[in-house]
Amino acid sequence: MEKNKYSIIVPTYNERLNIALLVYLIFKHLRDVDFEIIIVDDGSPDGTQQVVEQLQQLYGEDRILLRARAKKLGLGTAYIHGLKHASGNFVVIMDADLSHHPKYLPSFIKKQLETGASIVTGTRYVKGGGVHGWNLMRKLTSRGANVLAQTLLWPGVSDLTGSFRLYRKSVLEDIISSCVSKGYVFQMEMIVRASRKGYHIEEVPISFVDRVYGISKLGGSEIVEYLKGLAYLLVTT
Amino acid sequence: MTLLVAISALWIGLLQTSIIPRSHTWLLPIYFIVSLGCYGLLMVGVGLMQFPTCPQEAILLQQDVAEAKEFLKQKGVDVGGCD
């Protein structure tokens, strides 16, 4: 059997502390797995890249790849950029802010091996998963958005906007090229398009701990963007 | 999308054939949308009540963070400063 290699793509912007903690935790939880971490840093002014260079010296430049870009260019293109440098046959995408805990990586890999799925997506809305640090408003918008999307799109997955996912590399390359949205909607578009193309998608429960209290990423303009994205997906898929 | 088309086709069909009185058929989409809205609100309510939370995970993460910081500091990685 062919040996699997996992490329973990982490987009960063001003995550100098979190990226170090994340890298440590990834190495702690993935011991018998061949993997590389690809950090796509969008020109953070806080010295994220210097910390990554220190980590490279500690763990090896073949395990941690720094693929920086000059300025903030958005999440979708960060994935494409990281994907170009990925040498594994599987790609994991996760956030750098530790809301996605590396301890779930083995369950993603195990699920994929068991089912042969093309995509394994982390879900916060099933037993064993969960969210911490969200206020009522955040929960309400999250539920509302989810019910709306489930009713209109029938995607077959319970968590559309989460971004902690494992992809077969060829599958990610295939769907990412047909996605045009940004931000939250981008995550949703990827999974909806994958579902429409008939790729085998599996889910694993994850917990999502929001450490940045008080800052709601879901403002009024985000909700409008979300609704526009939903309508766009409804007519194009 | 196909489902939407099918439903509207059925509705127009009902309008044309007028099996049931026309005035009732005209109101059907409104009933449909209202019931869909009720269903949505109900699902949001149910989802909110059963929203899975994990306070213990936050504590575990705190421990992991402390452990990682300790290790990285020993290895000379710069983890001081902002958090």
Would you say residue A210 has pLDDT above 90? no
Residue with tokens 């210097």, as numbered in its chain: A50
Q: State pTM to two decimals.
A: 0.86
User: What pLDDT is recorded for position A108?
Assistant: 96
Residue ranges making up the domain that contains B16: 2-74
Fold of A5-236: Spore Coat Polysaccharide Biosynthesis Protein SpsA; Chain A (3.90.550)
Kindly state whether residue B61 falls inside one of the protein's structural domains.
Answer: yes
* Residue at B48 is within a domain: yes
Looking at the DSSP assignment, which residues form a beta bridge with residue A6?
A: A35, A90
Helices A75-84/A169-176 angle, 10° precision? 140
pLDDT tens profile A46-60 = 889 999 999 999 999
pLDDT over 80 at A151, yes or no? yes
> Which pLDDT tens digit goes with each residue over A60-98?
999 999 999 988 887 888 999 999 999 999 999 999 989
Helices (H), A154-219: 169-176, 183-196
Buried b (16+ CB within 10 A) or exposed e, A186-207: bbbbbbbbbbbeebebbbbbbb
Q: Which two tokens stand for residue B8?
A: 């509207």
- For residue B73, what is the nearest residue in chain A, using CA coordinates? A20
Residues from A contacting B (CB-CB < 8 Å) are 16-17, 20-21, 24-25, 28, 46-47, 50-51, 54-55, 58, 98, 101, 103, 124-127, 129-133, 136, 139-140, 143-144, 146-148, 150-151, 207, 209, 211, 234-235, 237
Inside any domain, residue B46: yes
Q: Is residue B33 part of a domain?
A: yes
In a domain, B83, yes or no: no
Over residues A103-110, mean pLDDT = 96
pLDDT at A214: 41
* CA dist., res. A90 & res. A109, Å (int): 9
User: Residue B80 domain-assigned?
Assistant: no
Q: How far is CA A202 from CA A46, A63, A95, A170, A174, in A?
A: 37, 27, 20, 17, 18
Assess B51–A contact: CB distance below 8 Å, yes or no. yes
User: Domain count of chain B?
Assistant: 1
pLDDT value of position B7: 83
Q: In this structure, are residues A183 and A138 in contact, taking their beta carbons and an 8 Å threshold?
A: no
* Better-scored residue on pLDDT, A125 or A7: A7
